[in-house]
Amino acid sequence: MTQRHKKIVIIGAGQIGSRHLQAMKSVSLPLEILIVDPSTKSLQTAEERYLSMPKGKFEHALKFQNSMPNNLIFDLAIIATCSDIRAKVTAKLLNSNRIDNLVLEKILFANGSDYKTIGKLLNKSDATAWINCPMRMMPAYQAIEKYFKKEKISYIVTGSKFGLITNAIHYLDHASHLSGTTEFEINTDGLNSKPISSKRKGFLEFNGTLTAHFSNGSNVSLTCHPEGNAPIIVEIHGNKTKYIGRESEGKAWLARADNNWHWEELEAPIPFQSQLTTILTEKILNTGKCDLVSYNESGKIHLNMLEPLRYFLNKNSKKKYKEYPFT
């Protein structure tokens, strides 16, 4: 019996979207993949990246187009645009097609009201949605989860020039997952008052230290230095366990009270998006579930982070922002 092709649409063929597409080549289910981007050049680059990947189990059917699909049914949609247009793109896709499962890139939306609007639309359309904060699904972090789950923890990240705000959502999501709560308060006192340009044109970033205090007593401290080449180091400290990870080296160290605080060295490779999306896609298509954060949960985490940042930006800037200029 011939296996039915699962239908996939990827909206946005830029840096992240093309990596999602690369991952599809290894999916062990037959796929029909539609890639949408207004830029023909971006579509060409995405196709080249897909073709550069090793041959998979199936020869998937690919279609590239500049316009949004209409009146189609998709088993999975991935929206990998920038935050400023993502809400508009999401609404258009959901209103014009049937989407069973949806994965959205972060930072989600630039306008605070969009979080509620899109949430209502998702409920109406009966689509299940997750946000691509993938630390929850990385094997290295899943392996240590049992030591910190729902404990009061101290979560510390330091490094140079890594894009503090665009990456803060990942660490806050992971800390939220470990702590078991989305309730936290952000403190912006340690941020440099002057924002810098993001690597993505038209968006902003900050350097300095961003801290968060969670309702269960956990604390997060994220520090991005404006100079140097210090690697990102992730530290998680609990009452009975300590973890230090050097993501760029794929190495980590774990010390536990029940092991006399002896440091164990662990292999902790950080998978590329072009690997993670293979796992993600297969799990969603086979089970209707995945390990990413749900839309509703992530919306709370996003807004708890973004509103204080917008307030801080407006306090220190002549220009007054109604939206969140981060992606």
267 CA to centre of own chain: 23
Instruction: Give 65's strand partners.
Output: 36
Residue 199 is predicted with a pLDDT of 87
Rounded to whole angstroms, how far apart are CA atoms 81 and 83? 7
Q: Which residues of the chain have pLDDT under 50?
A: none
The amino acid present at 119, given as its one-letter code, is G
Name the strand (E) or helix (H) holding 45: helix 40-51
In 3D space, the residue among 83, 92, 87 whose CA is nearest the CA of residue 9 turns out to be 92
**Structure token pair of residue 12:** 């946005």
What domains are there in the chain, each with its CATH number? Answer: 6-133+275-291 (3.40.50.720), 139-270+305-315 (3.30.360.10)
- Distance between CA atoms of residues 86 and 127, nearest Å: 16
| Model pLDDT, residue 2 | 60
